[in-house]
Structure 1
Amino acid sequence: MDFIHNLLPLFKILFVFICMLAGIRLRLGVGPSILAGGGVLAVLTSMKMGEVLEVSGAALTDDKTIFLALIVALIMILSGLLEKTGQAGRIMDSLTGYLRSPRLRLVFFPALIGLLPMPGGAIFSAPMIQEAANGLDVSGRDKVVINYWFRHLWELAWPLYPGMILAASLCGMSVFEYIGYTFPGSLACIVLGCFFYLRPSVLPMKNNGSAFNDSANVRDFRKVLKEGLPLIVAIVGAFLFETLLSFFFPGIPFELGIVLALLAAVLCSLTANHGSMPIIRALLLEKRFLNMIFMIICVFVFKDILGACGVVDELARLAGGETALIAAAVFVPFLVGFIAGITLAFVGAAMPLVVGLVQAAGLQHQLPAWAVLCMFCGFAGIMASPLHICFLLTCEYFKVDMVEAWKKVVIPSLMLMLLGVAYFFVLL
């Protein structure tokens, strides 16, 4: 009887995650599902309503919550502007003259679109894959997996991805410091993508004729700089502002640097595309935009309820620290990522638990290693997910059977997870 009683914290947290996964699976939305999980956790741990409201209010007014919501809003505005004004297409047109290899042409456009963290962005690069594959012996299934895999190369190393910003914030790091640990994930994705999808024995491409005419092969670096200026300003500006703020004003949150850089990038895009203010107004009212902001708020409310209810401390004592950590950093993020197909979902659900367990076990010096393990496993889960919106849209675009394409994605995704485990032991 004592044994079962000791396991109660584990049963509670498992039940909470089951409720969250059920909500996601039933398409209630990631934000509402995470928020409902926080409510269930509060009930299971006998938190009083007044305490829940107090914790939730503190989460809503916390600097981290406000800054992150603002950053995500600006990223979505920038992505939307580049897409709807046609500037993203012009960026790609300006770069075609630098592409000579047929294989490079196939992977370049989805990889470039991957720099714009837009939900379902794979459908944006699918027509470009189709054009790049003209005259080449490339099957529909190969087009699907190349577009899907290389669209997500940068998600573990690009500072504009909301999932990376949220994870860094939850770990108490700047996004660039966090990327300093996670960037090998992108290198692993490149190697796995080349091995499983591009090597000659897998993709023979018997006809290597050019898919572009000579006029597309004109190189104009000034045009590249002109069209790509918003992206350049966003990335370089974020790094520059963060560095200056940390050096001259260490008391100011580093997120302010990212906000300033994104504002400058949005202004660059507005300047380059006159009359695009109505696009911003429309973006601010889109359901997708509002859902994303709501999701950020729900994640921070859940995080604070998780910290206040005491279940993390109980779980750490029960499992002796590292056993509970392995479950939280490996199985929880992979499962949530696989079910939801969204990075923010597994980061919001698993990362607060990982951070809480690391702190409860007194292993703060190991936090980067555990956080990286969580990211690799969760990202492997979303890449293996048949519910990933990019995967579904790409299969639909190329009219390819989803199961046949999915079979080619699962093994590389699991390999990425194994590489993450190996990298974890290196960091540890």
Structure 2
Amino acid sequence: MIVLSLGISLAIILILVNKKVNMGYSMVVAATVLALLNGRSMGYIVAKFISTLNDSTTITLAFTISLITILAYLMDQYLILGRMVSALEIVLRSAKLTILLAPSIMGTLSVYGGALMSCPIVGRLGDRLSMTNDEKATINLIFRHTLYLIFPISPAMILASKIGGIDAWDLIRIQLPIGLFMYIFGYILFIRNYKDPEIKKLSNIEYIKSIFRFILYALPIIISLLGTIVFKVPFYISLIIGICYCIAVNMYDKRKDSRFKIDEHAIKTIYKGLKIPLVLTVIGILFYRNIVTDLSEIHMFLSGLLDRGMPLELMIFIASGVICISLASPQPGIAILFPLILPLAPTYEIRLMYAMFIFTTSFLFYYISPLHLCQILTLEYFQVRLKSLYRNYIFLIPLTFISMVIIYAIKIF
């Protein structure tokens, strides 16, 4: 019943979203149906919704997403973003290389919905390369998330190392070829065939000035990255500092050049950058996740599969799909499957192989989940339908999975 009810709830989300219903509302409806089909009362559902609203994670994430949209809007309105992208392109001497690297650099920031920060950059560069919106969305998601397989301080990698009793660098070592393959294949499929716009030659001094220009206009993003990763400041604090920096840059710019004058108060501009539908989406996703996490039937379902003698790899595949598509996160798949599967390994090397299979499979199911927040935000930003994105994944995702299976088979057999 648990698999059927999860399937029904996911179908409800897809149907409502395709009918242009806000993702947040769609997920609240789907979570309610899921809970009812598994015997939960309306009182339980209402209590779970209220606890979701009051949860510090919900409040912090909704606030953070709001600040991300405001920062992105200010960088765009104040022409900071355009100047940053132009400077980066000059430094790298290639629009193609820039559109490949920009999401990856921001992907080091492990925050829900962080892909939204690179959307404007990918959008500008994609326009220069004459890309379609679905290609821009695909590029933004691929090159932001590929590092997930090998990034040592990602939440999933830290979790895998802690509960799996394995060294994170050992896992990174065996997953590095998978990450490289996904990266290279993404480039071949979506970037290689485009021609770089011509960039004029520069003297050494002009080139150095371009580097400083890039740093100057990238500081709102650099502040966010350094504040969170290096100084361990809460992400929303770093974003507030970045927003203040944007306002200060605009105040300086408009004194020097009338092009940068905006006939409205900064507070009004900030308000325009606030995207309420995205906040509602965050609430819906967390409510759905909390309902699913509370369903003990999932754990019972997995235990039953092992007891019936199902092949280990097939069990991992099915269980990862059920868990990670539903929760739109790889962490639950790792947290549930590592304790079940890794103790079965006779050696440390086999343990690593099991860990790789679970980690990569959980990542790929999370990546394609219709509930994946980065994917939702990217689709909404570029106004692209989910089916267009899935059409672009038709080769990339299966081939990435096959590369993992080949590595697994070689090591195991």
Equivalent of 1:291 in 277, 283, 286: 277
Cα separation, 2, equivalents of 1:168 and 1:240: 18
1:237 shift after superposition = 1.0
Cα separation, 2, equivalents of 1:266 and 1:420: 41
Give the corresponding residue for 1:224: 214
Q: What percentage of residue pairs aligned between the two structures are identical?
A: 13
TM-score with structure 1 setting the length: 0.65
Query: 1:112-159 deviations in whole A, cap 9, x for unaligned?
Result: 3674833864543333224xxxxxxxxx7xx88875554334321679
Cα separation, 1, equivalents of 2:302 and 2:24: 27
Verify the 8 A CA contact 2:24 2:284 in the aligned structure 1: yes
1:238 shift after superposition = 0.7
1:270 shift after superposition = 1.9
Cα separation, 1, equivalents of 2:42 and 2:134: 48
Give the corresponding residue for 1:277: 267
Give the corresponding residue for 1:375: 363
Verify the 8 A CA contact 1:35 1:302 in the aligned structure 2: yes
Cα separation, 1, equivalents of 2:241 and 2:55: 25
Verify the 8 A CA contact 1:83 1:89 in the aligned structure 2: yes
Cα separation, 1, equivalents of 2:390 and 2:335: 35
Query: 1:44-64 deviations in whole A, cap 9, x for unaligned?
Result: 122122222222222222222
Q: Quick one: structure 1 residues 13 and 406, their matched pair in 2 at CA, closer, same or farther if it must change by over 3 Å?
A: closer
Query: 1:6-26 deviations in whole A, cap 9, x for unaligned?
Result: xx3332333233333333333
Q: Does 1:117 align with 2:115?
A: yes
Give the corresponding residue for 1:151: 140
Q: Aligned letter for 2:367?
A: F
Give the corresponding residue for 1:266: 243
Q: Quick one: structure 1 residues 166 and 37, their matched pair in 2 at CA, closer, same or farther if it must change by over 3 Å?
A: farther
Q: Does 1:74 align with 2:58?
A: no
1:235 shift after superposition = 0.6
Q: Quick one: structure 1 residues 349 and 269, their matched pair in 2 at CA, closer, same or farther if it must change by over 3 Å?
A: same
Task: Single out whichever of 406-415 and 228-237 deviates more from structure 2.
Answer: 406-415
Give the corresponding residue for 2:184: 191
Q: Quick one: structure 1 residues 123 and 233, their matched pair in 2 at CA, closer, same or farther if it must change by over 3 Å?
A: closer
Give the corresponding residue for 1:83: 76
Verify the 8 A CA contact 2:9 2:33 in the aligned structure 1: yes
Give the corresponding residue for 1:410: 394
- SS of residue paired to 2:144: coil
Q: Quick one: structure 1 residues 291 and 186, their matched pair in 2 at CA, closer, same or farther if it must change by over 3 Å?
A: farther
Q: Quick one: structure 1 residues 144 and 25, their matched pair in 2 at CA, closer, same or farther if it must change by over 3 Å?
A: closer
Cα separation, 1, equivalents of 2:82 and 2:16: 37
Q: Aligned letter for 1:326?
A: F
Verify the 8 A CA contact 1:126 1:147 in the aligned structure 2: yes
Equivalent of 1:62 in 51, 55, 59: 55
Question: Can you give the 5+ residue segments of structure 1 that lack an aligned partner in the other structure?
Answer: 1-7, 131-139, 243-255, 334-345, 396-401
Equivalent of 1:19 in 12, 16, 20: 12
1:170 shift after superposition = 11
Question: Can you give the 5+ residue segments of structure 2 that lack an aligned partner in the other structure?
Answer: 107-113, 163-167, 252-264, 344-350
Query: 1:49-97 deviations in whole A, cap 9, x for unaligned?
Result: 2222222222222222222222222222211221221111111222343
Cα separation, 2, equivalents of 1:172 and 1:292: 33
Verify the 8 A CA contact 1:38 1:301 in the aligned structure 2: yes
Give the corresponding residue for 1:126: 126
Cα separation, 1, equivalents of 2:66 and 2:234: 15
Q: Quick one: structure 1 residues 299 and 85, their matched pair in 2 at CA, closer, same or farther if it must change by over 3 Å?
A: same
Q: Aligned letter for 1:279?
A: T
| Structural RMSD (CA) | 4.7
Query: 1:246-282 deviations in whole A, cap 9, x for unaligned?
Result: xxxxxxxxxx622222222222222212264322111
Verify the 8 A CA contact 1:241 1:258 in the aligned structure 2: no
Q: Aligned letter for 1:155?
A: R
Give the corresponding residue for 2:234: 257
Q: Aligned letter for 2:221?
A: L
Give the corresponding residue for 1:212: 199
Give the corresponding residue for 1:240: 230
Verify the 8 A CA contact 2:133 2:383 in the aligned structure 1: no
Verify the 8 A CA contact 2:71 2:273 in the aligned structure 1: no
1:215 shift after superposition = 7.0
Cα separation, 2, equivalents of 1:295 and 1:167: 23
Q: Aligned letter for 1:211?
A: E
- SS of residue paired to 2:102: helix
Verify the 8 A CA contact 2:328 2:366 in the aligned structure 1: no
